[in-house]
């Protein structure tokens, strides 16, 4: 695992966008894994700028989202499919329908998980998986205590995650869903390269466990230590608790 500390979120976005651009230059039909939340937003803005400048194209790219809330109606603005459509897919030349997510509207959520895992397997899994990290160390919605070898599954959101995400629901904790569909840790680890972005002091403890701690289900992101090609980009605040 390679750790790079950069001065700002903008510097991180530039470095991360370089990784995506290099991938698309060598493999225009790459399979890209996307993450939601605040951390990747500067990256998505930078990718849009590079697309508009003619430097990169997503017209042959297939995308797979990490996760999706269960219990939100199809037109809810905080569904992660809406997030990705707003912040990336609709702003570039990725084909409509090319960015896939787990079907959290299904009447059979377990079957939806199996179908999504099979869809990713048919695509060969991701060439590059973009990741954020929760304050409790989750990646995707793989919460502490879950299996390190999990595949796509129905998850129960930890109270800390729901509190962290309440800001997207006007601060109303009761409005935050309690369940989700998420790629499992084993699914994420099948990506040929992982790119994790973390900014801000509130991510410092999770980053310290990720980099300095032992691999543990209590800090799910630590499974990345076993990946052969993982890049972690952080700012000084997120790196503030690192021992080395």
Annotated catalytic, 7? no
DSSP, res 94 = P
User: Quick check: 215 and 225 in contact, CB under 8 A?
Assistant: yes
Tokens 């991180």 map to which residue? 12
The single residue of 46, 117, 136, 164 carrying the catalytic annotation is: 136
| Pairing between β-strand 128-131 and β-strand 31-34 as defined by DSSP bridges | parallel
CA distance 8 to 4: 12
Annotated catalytic, 143? yes
The single residue of 46, 117, 127, 143 carrying the catalytic annotation is: 143
Closest CA to 165 of 73, 66, 36, 33: 36
The single residue of 46, 67, 164, 235 carrying the catalytic annotation is: 67
User: Quick check: 192 and 80 in contact, CB under 8 A?
Assistant: no
The single residue of 87, 117, 127, 138 carrying the catalytic annotation is: 138
Annotated catalytic, 136? yes
Six-digit token string for 86: 């707003």
Annotated catalytic, 67? yes
Six-digit token string for 48: 């849009």
For the annotated catalytic residues, the residue numbers are 67, 136, 138, 143
């Amino acid at each position: 695992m390679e750790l790079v500390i950069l001065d700002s979120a903008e510097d991180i976005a530039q470095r991360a966008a370089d990784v995506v651009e290099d991938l698309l230059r060598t493999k225009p039909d790459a399979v890209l894994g996307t993450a939601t939340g605040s951390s990747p937003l500067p990256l998505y803005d930078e990718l849009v700028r590079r697309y508009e400048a003619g430097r990169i194209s997503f017209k042959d790219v297939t995308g797979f989202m990490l996760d999706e809330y269960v219990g939100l109606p199809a037109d809810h603005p905080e569904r992660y499919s809406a997030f990705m459509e707003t912040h990336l897919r609709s702003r570039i030349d990725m084909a409509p329908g090319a960015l896939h997510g787990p079907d959290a509207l299904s009447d059979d959520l377990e079957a939806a998980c199996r179908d999504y895992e099979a869809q990713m397997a048919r695509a060969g899994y991701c060439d590059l998986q973009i990741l954020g990290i929760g304050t409790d160390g989750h990646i995707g919605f793989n919460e502490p205590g879950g299996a390190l070898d999990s595949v796509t599954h129905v998850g129960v959101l930890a109270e800390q995650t729901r509190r962290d995400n309440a800001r997207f629901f006007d601060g109303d904790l009761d409005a935050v869903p309690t369940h989700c569909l998420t790629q499992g840790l084993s699914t994420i680890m099948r990506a040929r390269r992982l790119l994790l972005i973390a900014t801000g002091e509130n991510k410092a403890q999770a980053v310290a466990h990720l980099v300095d701690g032992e691999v543990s289900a209590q800090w799910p992101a630590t499974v990345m230590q076993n990946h052969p090609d993982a890049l972690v980009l952080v700012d000084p605040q997120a790196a503030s608790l690192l021992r080395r």
